[in-house]
Chain A
Amino acid sequence: MLQELLYGLAGLAVFVIGLRGALLHDNWLLRLLSLNVCGAGVFITFVAIAYRGLTLPADPVPHALVLTGIVVAVSAMAMALALGRRLRSYDD
């Protein structure tokens, strides 16, 4: 129980740290990295809430959701990086 709560709170903490970075940084790259941290926080939370005690297997639904979420996040990040390169090409 304590362990589960710990994981959940850790997820929330990571989320908040990422959020803070995403809101405060001016540089787009730093902001994207912060968003990644923020996303990781959400995913950790999802993993933590799948725990249903020692006797039951973990709830599969949050795991499925996390997988989808990670796929989305990775593609979004790829797109952001591609756009960033485009932006650089205008400056050169």
Chain B
Amino acid sequence: MDIFGTLPLWILLSSLLPGLIIFLLKEESIRMRTTLNLFGAVTKIGLIGLMIWGVFHEKTIEVRWEMAPGMEMVLHADALSVLFVSLSAILWLVTTIYAIGYLEGTPHRSRFFGFFSLCVTATVGLALAGNLFTFVIFYELLTLATYPLVAHKGSPKAVRGARIYLAYTMAGGILLLIGAVWLRTIAGPLDFVEGGVLAEMSHLDPWALRWIFLLLIVGLGVKAALVPLHGWLPQAMVAPAPVSALLHAVAVVKAGAFGIVRVVYDVFGVEFASSLNLLPFLGAVAAITIIYGSIKALSQDHLKRRLAYSTVSQVSYIALGTAIVGPLATIGGVVHLVHQGVMKITLFFAAGNYAEKYNVHCVSEMDGIGKVMPATTLSFSIAALGMIGIPPVAGFVSKWYIGVGALEAGQGFWVIPVLLISSLLNAAYFLPILYRAWFKPAKAEWLEEYKKSGHKEMKATLVWPPVITATIAIIIGLFAAAPFSPLEWAQLIASREYRQ
């Protein structure tokens, strides 16, 4: 095994080892902790850069370890995993910077950053998983690593939120496990293969496969917050802002959505899944989730809760794109994995800043906040417009591809209305926020404080992360056709999925 092949292992270790060391650090050794965090995050990005090069040139990048006879832990890099891994690594770096600023002076930071690193390790492992067995392992580890983060504050409300989160994800994990074992038992060790593998196994009972699909999708749907399995998400937003940002953008919710993409494309194969009549079911659930989440978001005054329901809705675009057969819809769904992440993390950073600076938690308290926190609010606005689907921000691109893909597949008659209604609803719950923030008068004491601080919004570690992610959201929207953009990469993935 050459060094190049072992890259996935090093990518895991680049966050696992710093995480383990951080656990042992004293609370006061801030400098050491920060150095380790940033070192890990930057190293990971560097290693992933190498891996992208390798995948583009179709090199085999794979690590295998036998855990039991015929049960191998496989870490494997393909186009889809690279997309998700890069997203996680970049957003992790930004979130780490944000978290360092956000948690300054609060207790138990070593514990926090330790679990934070473990959480990213699990996410990256999930992205690199080369078969369902490995995927299940990291899926469960992700649950374990995020539970302490959700409960971090230790307040009764946080503990309760964490308990609900755990109940949902554990139950989902069991269903996923049963589905995976069942499939493994009847079909043998299935490595993920672009285009799917089950289609060639004609001896398998189609009804067994349907049940397995249902088990897998329900298990994954819990984390992906598909209605009616989404109940934990609004509760889990009691977590500190950086955790919510990570949970909603890359780690948990995205892990579920990524899993759905994997199961449909690389286990069943999208055409085979379609021939079993499984996709209409997935599409219907996704459509209901999209509409339901948006409607619920409308009535939330609490900002983070509104964002949480918005996540419920937005993540299901990925499932929707997956449920439509055809390369264009695939591109739309897959690229939304990245686009939603970048935009949603910006929104949560901004929400965290509002709460931190002026103790603003509710939409009704946000009058005029744009005047005293311009950079934060500008980032928030860009991301919100992107979520609605206004060009040139990234969100437009994904919705466009899903819509065109649906028309191409002859599914336009129901997908286009869903997209339209959802966009209108998005506008209905985001635009009033923007209006309040920019055009309503601000509180006098805010203006006074803003003036007194010499027009300085907040410390740099809190202001820059949303600005950076908002900029990325514009760039990947504007330059979607550039080489190595997420869209280009999604096109590469789609071309490989539909190769046969």
A–B in direct contact per CB < 8 Å: no
User: Interface on B for A, CB 8 Å cutoff?
Assistant: none
